[in-house]
Amino acid sequence: MFFDTLLERLAPIEIEAVLAHELGHFKRHHVLKRIVFTFALSLGFLWLLAQLMEANWFYNGLGVTTPSTALALLLFFMILPVFSFLLHPLMSYYSRKHEFEADAYAAQQTNAHDLASALVKMYQDNAATLTPDPLYSTFYDSHPPALMRIARLQTLQGA
């Protein structure tokens, strides 16, 4: 998104590079892919909820003596983070892959150095560390670390 602070902070050629990056998401159908993936995941979770609603062991294991649909939904959402915890690195990987693809598209359309320069400014403005913990970043970050993105952009610039 282009907020007024972003437009004030970046040079016109950097804005063009960031716009090319965002257009890369559009060109590579990242939004559509994310919608389809989220839809499929939601259907999977709804199927799992339907199975658990009919399973007495689900209620008994959580100490519930009087099962109900509303209670099943509440219990499901309480335990879901425990079992979906391992989906975090997969989702993060998927998102970072899209960021690299959009960066590559931007590097084809504009100067990769301009995008790298804009990235440094944006990471600074967002108070994001340029060198995050690798394990934490792999598990949780939807965007690759700035240094990794810049290194990749430099290789694209040289190509």
Question: The tokens 């339907």 sit on which residue?
Answer: 50
On whether residue 5 sits in a domain, the answer given is: no
On whether residue 100 sits in a domain, the answer given is: yes
pLDDT at 86: 86
What Cα–Cα distance (Å) separates residue 15 from each residue in 3, 24, 94? 11, 14, 25
On whether residue 37 sits in a domain, the answer given is: yes
On whether residue 7 sits in a domain, the answer given is: no
Residue type present at position 152: R
Count of domains in the chain? Answer: 1
Confidence of residue 128 (pLDDT cuts 50, 70, 90): confident
Classify residue 94 as exposed, middle or buried by CB count within 10 Å of its CB (0-12, 13-18, 19+).
middle
Helical residues (DSSP H) of the chain, grouped into ranges: 4-9, 12-27, 30-53, 56-61, 69-84, 87-109, 112-125, 134-140, 146-158
- Average pLDDT of the residues in 42-55: 93
Confidence of residue 151 (pLDDT cuts 50, 70, 90): very high
pLDDT at 152: 94
Highest mean pLDDT among 37-46, 64-73, 124-133, 135-144: 37-46
In this predicted structure, the answer to whether residue 158 has a pLDDT above a threshold of 70 is no
On whether residue 138 sits in a domain, the answer given is: yes
Confidence of residue 29 (pLDDT cuts 50, 70, 90): very high
Question: The tokens 């939601």 sit on which residue?
Answer: 42
| Residues taking part in catalysis | 22
pLDDT at 7: 82
User: Is the separation of the CB atoms in 121 and 10 below 8 Å?
Assistant: yes
Full residue range of the structural domain in which residue 93 is found:
12-158
* CA gap 32, 30 in Å, rounded: 5
Question: The tokens 């965002």 sit on which residue?
Answer: 22
On whether residue 3 sits in a domain, the answer given is: no
